[in-house]
Structure 1
Amino acid sequence: MKYIHFAVLLWLGIGGLRAQDSTAIRRDTVIAPAKTDASATDLLAGLTDSTESQPLLPHKMIFTQRVFWGPKGLLRTTNIAPLTSEGRVHELKVRRTMLVAHQIGGFVTLAGFVAQGLLGAKLYNAKGQDYLDTKKWHERSATFINITYGTTLLLSLTAPPPVVGAKKGFTSIKLHKYLAIVHLTGMVATNILAHMIDNNPDLKPIHRAAAYTTFGAYAASILSLTF
């Protein structure tokens, strides 16, 4: 069941990341909101004055966004979030809040990666009771990282869509997306290998390489939007 869970997570994550760039924290949405997040009054005016020239939803949306926020999404058909100009103004505020939480979760997860790396390095050389104690904390930190990583990912994948689609050309958002594919794959591989090590200790070097690759890609993905 654990492998199935990892496979589903990988499928959702990579599928969503390939669909568009706007699921990550956008520099113009979170770090410099003044560039795209107009005041609620201005945004509402823009949406109501010309609904034809300014569509309420972007043409491309990831699968998870379309399921909830698409024209026939769950929140639309149940009338919880009708697709209106006023509703989209509120959704963009919700999106901003979720992406800020996504960014905070990213730094919390990064801190967990650092702690996990230190424990992992100690575990490789530990013996006896020290090994058992370190292994326990290593497993606890792994659980913590999986929870924060998964939550951070879901905040990105389920946030309401932006007003417009992704910008053309290579951007920091696209770099963030490509790195996310790497670290998501690394997360799945690291978890699978961790459960195989007890029966096959020869996998330890591969597990360590996967963990370091995941950490490197994850740190780079955060830096790509921070600076």
Structure 2
Amino acid sequence: MKHRLLTIFLLFLGIGSVQAQNPTATPDSVRTVADTTAPATTDADALLADLTDSTEAQPLLPRKMIFTQRAFWGPKGLLRITNAAPLTAEGRAKELKIRRTMLVTHQIGGFVTLAGFVAQGFLGAKLYNAKGEDYVRVKRQHENMATFINISYGTTLALALTSPPPAVGSRKGFSSIKLHKYLAIVHLTGMVATNILARAIQTNYELKPYHRAAAYTTFGTYAASIIALTF
């Protein structure tokens, strides 16, 4: 009898150990790990949402723009109020492509204008020593070249002033782009002075040295501005 009771007791222990080793069972530790993964997924989604919101909150236009860009492309610029270029993310992406095309054309125009300056320098030096019919012929060439330079210079300048603003504002500190802009102020002033003195020479030949100085200053600063931006 005792042996039968002992056998039954051991049989119950064996069944219990098999159930404890059953791989289909779900231990508490497994349930605990499964529970802790759910909040992690939620936190990641929330973080991604925050990043998306912060990206969408970025301004579409830089804070600082030159006055011509603000007049055309600013929040209340001409192209905005006429709805010709609505201020949207998709619109800004297209504007940046337009800006790149305009600035590339601006660079090409800069080299064309520089070549005109070089040719005008030779004609100007020749004009100062010409006499008689040679003077009339060279003067006509000098005036035609001056017209070409004015058109080329004005077009190149307009491309830079009216291009859409960049995606971000200018960086702090000195840069080649800022040097290019500072030199642009000098050669623009020299360009205006050169044209004014060119007309004044017709009635006052004593202004020739000033006209030459203004022309050389314009050429020098213009060439330097191209070199600063190219190299």
Q: State which of 212, 224, 227 in structure 1 corresponds to 2:228.
A: 224
CA distance in structure 1 between the partners assigned to 2:54 and 2:102 by the alignment: 28
Query: What is the root-mean-square deviation in Å for CA atoms of aligned residues?
Result: 1.4
- Which of residues 170, 173, 192 in structure 1 aligns to 2:174? 170
Contact 1:55 1:163 in 2 (8 A): no
Structure 1 moving runs of 4+ over 2 Å: 46-49
Shift of residue 51, structure 1, vs aligned partner: 2.6
User: Which amino acid counterpart does residue 197 of structure 2 have in structure 1?
Assistant: L
- Given the superposition, is the C-alpha separation of residues 194 and 82 from structure 1 closer, same or farther in structure 2, using an over 3 Å criterion? same
Where is the helix percentage greater, Structure 1 or Structure 2? Answer: 2
Give distance in 1, aligned partners of 2:180 and 2:55: 33
Counterparts of 1:1-227 in structure 2, within 5 Å, are 50-52=55-57, 54-227=58-231
Amino acid at match of 2:224: A
Q: Greater relative contact order: 1 or 2 (C-alpha under 8 angstroms, separation 6 or more)?
A: 1
User: In structure 1, what residue type is equivalent to 2:190?
Assistant: G
Taking the aligned partners of 1:216 and 1:148, their CA distance within structure 2 comes to: 17
Change in 2 beyond 3 A, CA 1:154/1:110:
same
Render the CA deviation track for 1:96-134: whole Å, top value 9, x for unaligned: 000000000000000000000000000000000000000
Aligned to 1:12: none
Change beyond 3 A, Cα 1:157–1:48: farther
What 5-or-longer segments of structure 2 have no aligned partner? Answer: 1-50
Write the distance in 1 (CA, Å) between the matches of 2:52 and 2:84.
20
Unaligned runs of 5+ in 1: 1-45
Identity %: 76
CA distance in structure 2 between the partners assigned to 1:57 and 1:218 by the alignment: 29
| Cα offset, 1:49, TM superposition | 6.8
Structure 2 residue matching 1:149: 3-state secondary structure: helix
Report the Cα distance in structure 1 between the residues aligned to 2:220 and 2:70, rounded to whole angstroms. Answer: 31
> How far 1:223 sits from its partner (Å)?
0.1
Number of aligned residues: 181
Q: Displacement, 1:67? A: 1.2
- Cα offset for 1:147? 0.3
TM-score normalized by the length of structure 1:
0.78
CA contact (8 A) 1:60 1:165 kept: yes
**3-state secondary structure, aligned to 1:50:** helix
1:47 Cα offset (Å): 9.6
| CA apart distance, 1:74 | 1.2
> Separation in 1 of the partners of 2:66 and 2:221?
22
d(CA) in 1 for partners of 2:155, 2:88: 29
Aligned counterparts of 1:89 and 1:115: Cα–Cα separation in 2: 40
Q: Structure 1 pair 74/167, CA: closer, same or farther in 2 (3 Å)?
A: same
> In structure 2, what is the Cα distance between the partners aligned to 1:47 and 1:76?
26
Structure-2-length-normalised TM-score: 0.76
Task: Give CA deviations for 1:37-73 in whole Å, capped at 9, x if unaligned.
Answer: xxxxxxxxx9997132x31000011111111111111
Report what 1:40 is aligned to.
none
Give yes or no for contact 1:172–1:225 (8 Å, CA) kept in 2: yes
Change (3 A) 1:74 1:132: same
